Amino acid sequence: MIRIILLLAGAVLVFTQHYIHPLPVQLQVTSFLCGIILLGIPHGAADLLVATQNSTAGKKSFSPVKFFIKYLGRLILFAALFWFFPLAANFLFIIFAAYHFGETDLHHFKTNSIAGISFVISYGLVVLGVILLNHFDEVKPLFMQFEAGVKYESFIDHIGLYRYTILSVVAILFFASSFFYFSVNSNNDQQGKFLVQFAVILFILYNLPMIVGFTFYFVLWHSVLSLRNIVKYLRKDGLFSTIVISKQLAFYSLLAIAGIGLFGLTGFMFISNNAMMVYVFLGLAVLTAPHMEVMHEMYVSMRNRSRTK
């Protein structure tokens, strides 16, 4: 039911954008930032609780100190990768984000196999491709906020020139991996529902400006569904109460927001809309690697539970 509501919200955004009045840029940016604060960051703020539950489900010991050392170590490593090797880091981030988006949307499928992994990654790549490549004229100015963007401008221009070719290749990869996945999982009765839902998502993303499309997918769709899955997972065995989960989300959300804000103060985050969006995107990119690992373990545990029922 919640997916239908979210898709209807996306359809309303498309109708408003095309038939009532285009959303002003300032409203787009404000909605994006508010969404990140209210839903985007909180959906990753429960990683400590999720990791604790993962260890409990796997009957392993858990140390919060070791978890934070490992978590922050990966965060710093990924930040350093962005600093010293920005081109490689961006490609790595695209793959990580594609897998994370795909695994969240497709967590009810059997995705632990090679067929499942290719299905998940290609799904996420199509989503990111429609958001970024289809609106590349809006994306390029964000890259140009950094010295690395200026340095690799010719490469960025080549991506813009061949964006629809790249998107076509990604789409072919998705159709091939989907066919392969469903051919080896022919007893899956969710194919039709999934394909209709995915088609509606792509229609919405295609017809919205880049920032509104990303806000719809990441904030309204991905973050809401992730939070629902996280709360359901944490409350499954009664290990965490609603109050504990809420406090955890609030505390670590504030820490993440403060961290991004302080990081932004050391640069030029607050000089323009583009600069603010770039720093927020960068903060999300750095957090993706450690967050994705925690969430992957959660979804593996959820799939294992469903098989044992």
Structure tokens of 36? 């990140």
Banded pLDDT at 221 (limits 50, 70, 90) = very high
Q: Any long-range contacts for 238-242 (C-beta under 8 Å, 24+ apart)?
A: 239/52, 239/53, 239/56, 240/49, 240/53
Q: What is the pLDDT of residues 72-95, one digit of tens each?
A: 898 889 888 888 888 888 899 999
Q: What is the mean pLDDT of the chain?
A: 86
Q: What's the confidence (pLDDT) of residue 162?
A: 94
Task: Please give the pLDDT value at position 303.
Answer: 81
Can you tell me whether residue 219 is helix, strand or coil? helix
Cβ–Cβ under 8 Å, residues 283 and 71: no
Distance (Å, rounded) from C-alpha 93 to C-alpha 233?
Answer: 26
Please state the φ and ψ torsions of residue 158, each to the nearest 5 degrees: -65, -40
What lies within 8 Å, CB to CB, of 248 at 6+ separation is 45, 46, 48, 49
Q: Per-residue pLDDT tens for 249-301?
A: 888 888 877 776 666 565 555 556 666 777 778 778 888 888 998 999 999 88
Query: pTM of the prediction?
Result: 0.89
Per-residue confidence (pLDDT) for residue 271, from 0 to 100: 58
What is the pLDDT confidence band of residue 217, given thresholds at 50, 70 and 90?
Answer: very high
- Residues 302, 309: Cα–Cα separation, whole Å: 11
Q: What pLDDT score was predicted for residue 204?
A: 96
Indicate the domain borders of the chain. 2-7+28-302
Task: Please give the structure tokens belonging to residue 279.
Answer: 């720093």
